[in-house]
Amino acid sequence: MCKYNVVIIDSGINTNKYPDVSGVSIEYSYNCLSVGNCLDDEVGHGTIIYSIINKRMISDQIFVVKLPDWQEQCDDSCLIYALEYIKNNIDCNVINISLGLKSTEKYDELYKVCKALSDKGTLIISAFDNDGCYSYPASFDCVIGVDSHADIRSTDEFYFVENSPVNILAKGSVQRVTTQGGQNLIVSGSSIACAHISAITANEISKGTAIENVLSSLKTKSCGIFKDRVAMAKTKNQPFEIKNAVVFPFSKEVHAFVRFNDMLSFCINDYYDVRYSGRVGKRISSYFDGVTFDKTIVDIGSLDFANADTIILGHLGEINKLLGRDYRRILIQKAINEGVNIYSFDPLEQYLDLLNSSSIKYFYPRVTKDDVPYNTFGKLYKNDKPVLGIYGTSSQQGKFSLQLSIKQVLENTGYSVGTIGTEPHSLLFGFDVVFPMGYNSTVNLSNHDIVIYLNAQINKLCRKREIILTSTQAQIVPYYCNNMLEFPNMQYHFALGTQPDAIVMCVNIYDEIPYIRNSIYTLMGLTGATVIAFVVFPVTYVNDWKGALGNMKRKVTEEEFEQFADVLKKEFQKPAYLLGNKHHIERICQDIIDFF
């Protein structure tokens, strides 16, 4: 096995100027990859990288691997093949990869070969893509990722970054280098910064620094350090296993427990409510069509924790205000006394002294700045798995129910489905991420951080799921512009952070076509997504001119739905389905599969 200090994977080298450089080329032949010996650099980029590294190195043992079609955007198969060749045939200290893949369908394969080289004792130093996003292999934890920073004025200086895919920031601003024809050329970019760091690193190793100590040595010699955030103390607010639960109150938000009971991993023993609600003593099945459920709603005054390990507390603000009692504190104290855990939709900050002094487990969903990736420099990941977004024209359209229905059908079909839910009880249905942005939201992030956080969550799901489902709250376009509270700012940034490829649009039968059109255009402008179908909410108002206040609701008739579906089809050339119709849900899932 040949020994070299540095291997450069790039576009080749000017063999007239550097005839003695060793290397191989990766070539396509009948759609198959093979190793050749033509190193000619038709682009010039590889020669520039070689020139920078060669001039700076103490030892000039450099091996070049030329990739095909470098200028047309490096193919992940070629890069993997090149790295596999190096792993099996070359013994080297540093591999310089002055290019980046914005996304890759062969993420696992690329990571595997990079990790194998790292474990073997080879440092891979890779540039981030110049467009500002995360790229590969620079983002891997087994690779030193290098980006450019405008404040670095010297090629000998660099910043070190803690706890980030970006490890080093170096000089990538305009600088003069020698090109393949011997000319002086002004160049810039993270690929140039990467070359300087590869040379500095190779020299560190030549001076005797052990491979495993190179990063710490670079940190010591850096001209500045982007520190990691101060670690926050761990709290007891963590999800926990539930086996048997009771629920209070029996509000709209908990109806999903009844409709999608088979998606829960635990049993619900009883549903409780206050007598004031008028629901106590009624059969739960009376609130739903086609649901067989024998339980009746029980008075909270008769709360019995027998055989229950958890109480699920829904939103209690309105009940507390109307009845002048702090039911949350009363029930927390009772749960503590009887050793029962608590899952709360609402935040529990004002009860933490009480909770933390007890032995019970508790959880309430929230997202804070501590959950947002740090030292990102604004970089975002490109989604490499299909993302479906569920959006709408108003609140209370059954978006969460639709998300659950689609999740259930796709999983039963055999797909691995990733989910980001915006309802506080999303995790109880096996969702991967909860982003509680609805009523009494516990998302405490700036708009900038919302995008960073959600983008990072989508990227994590891309690593382990085949398709990702997201669903938002309320509408995407304001009805009026009279007050800042009317602007759906969080919905905008939810769309920007999740970047769906396709959208299912929830609409009401009384929505005006221009408003639906504006909503679609807004989403297309924000995300570039395609709206593939409409889902009509099956409830409307007796007198639509009265609006929601003081008006009676009724079911949409089949004839009304068909007429409205025809209007939508004519206006937007998209199919419309009725929420709650099993056959319609199956058809929309097939539309989703066909689209992707």
Contact predicate 108/59, CB 8 Å = no
Nearest-Å Rg of the Cα atoms of the chain is 29
pLDDT at 180: 47
Measured between alpha carbons, how far is 185 from 174 in angstroms, rounded to an integer? 10
Could you give the angle at which helices 447-462 and 489-498 cross, rounded to 10 degrees?
30
pLDDT value at residue 128: 97
Backbone angles phi, psi at 340, to 5 degrees: -105, 135
pLDDT at 181: 55
Per-residue pLDDT at 357: 94
Write out pLDDT tens, residues 316-351.
Answer: 999 999 999 999 999 999 999 999 999 999 999 999
The residue type of 325 is R
> What's the rounded mean pLDDT across residues 92-97?
97
**How far is 556 from 508, CA to CA, in rounded Å?**
10
Q: Where are the domains of the chain?
A: 2-226, 244-364, 370-595
Q: Which of 234, 441, 240 is nearest to 345 (CA)?
A: 441
Detail the DSSP E strand segments found in 30-174. 32-36, 62-66, 90-97, 123-127, 144-148, 158-161, 168-170
Lowest mean pLDDT among 160-169, 178-187, 542-551: 542-551
E runs forming strands in 498-583: 502-507, 530-536, 539-541, 553-555, 576-578
CATH no. for 244-364: 3.40.50.720
Q: Do domains 2-226 and 370-595 have the same CATH topology?
A: yes
| Residue 282: exposure state from Cβ atoms within 10 A (0-12, 13-18, ≥19) | middle
Token representation of residue 390: 């569920």
What pLDDT is attached to residue 233? 66
Other beta carbons within 10 angstroms of residue 363's beta carbon come to 18
Residue 42 identity: E
* Mean pLDDT (the chain, rounded): 93
Q: What pLDDT does residue 290 have? A: 75
Nearest one of 124, 92, 122 to 3, comparing CA atoms? 92
> What is the average pLDDT across 299-312?
95
Cα angle, residue 392 at apex, residues 391 and 393 outer, rounded to 5°: 150
pLDDT at residue 178 in the model: 63
At residue 235, the pLDDT reads: 77
- Cα 98 to Cα 187: distance, rounded to the nearest angstrom: 13
Confidence at residue 256, expressed as pLDDT on a 0 to 100 scale: 94
pLDDT band of residue 553 (cuts 50, 70, 90) is: confident
Domain 370-595 architecture: 3-Layer(aba) Sandwich (3.40)
Query: What's the whole-number mean pLDDT along residues 71-92?
Result: 88
User: Is residue 440 scored above 70 in pLDDT?
Assistant: yes
pLDDT tier at 106, thresholds 50, 70, 90:
very high
Three-class secondary structure of residue 323 per DSSP = helix
What pLDDT is recorded for position 31? 79
Angle at CA 63, nearest 5°, toward 59 and 69? 140
3-state secondary structure of 158: strand
Query: For residues 272 and 289, what is the distance between their CA atoms, to the nearest angstrom?
Result: 21
Kindly report the backbone phi and psi dihedral angles of residue 538, in degrees, each rounded to the nearest multiple of 5, phi listed first.
Answer: -80, 15
Instruction: With CA atoms as reference, report the closest residue to 53 among 90, 112, 9.
Output: 9
In this structure, what token pair is assigned to residue 424?
């506080």
- Count other C-beta atoms under 10 Å from residue 104's C-beta: 20
Dist CA 411 CA 463 (whole Å):
17
Average pLDDT rounded to a whole number, residues 211-221: 94
Cα 62 to Cα 6: distance, rounded to the nearest angstrom: 5
Per-position b or e across 57-68, b if 16+ CB within 10 A of its CB: beeebbbbbbbb
Instruction: Indicate if the pLDDT at residue 70 is higher than 80.
Output: no
Q: Are strands 387-392 and 433-434 parallel, antiparallel or unpaired?
A: unpaired
Q: pLDDT of 458-483, one tens digit each? A: 999 999 999 999 999 999 999 888 99
Candidates 374, 378, 334; CA nearest to 358 is 334
Residues 6 or more apart whose CB falls under 8 angstroms from that of 229 comprise 163, 370, 374
For 475-527, the pLDDT digits (tens) are: 999 988 899 888 999 999 999 999 999 999 999 999 999 999 999 999 999 99
Taking the C-alpha atoms of residue 171 and residue 415, their distance in angstroms, rounded to an integer, is 45
Report the alpha-carbon distance of residue 354 to residue 337 in Å, rounded: 11
Q: CA-CA distance, 73 to 589, in Å (whole number)?
A: 34
* pTM of the predicted model as reported, rounded to 2 decimal places: 0.94
User: What tens digit of pLDDT does each residue of 195-211 get?
Assistant: 999 999 999 999 999 98
| Residue 56, both tokens | 């700076």
What would the DSSP string read from start to end of 236-289? SB-----SEEEEE---GGGHHHHHTGGG-SSEEEEEEE-GGGT-TT-BGGGGST
Q: What is the C-alpha separation between 265 and 430, in angstroms, rounded? A: 8
CB atoms within 10 A of CB 235: 10
**What is the share, in percent, of the chain residues with pLDDT greater than 90?**
84
Q: Count CA atoms closer than 13 A to 419's CA, side-chain side.
A: 25
Tell me which CATH code domain 2-226 carries: 3.40.50.200
Output the CA–CA distances (angstroms, integers) from residue 328 to 315, 316, 321, in the order listed: 9, 7, 12
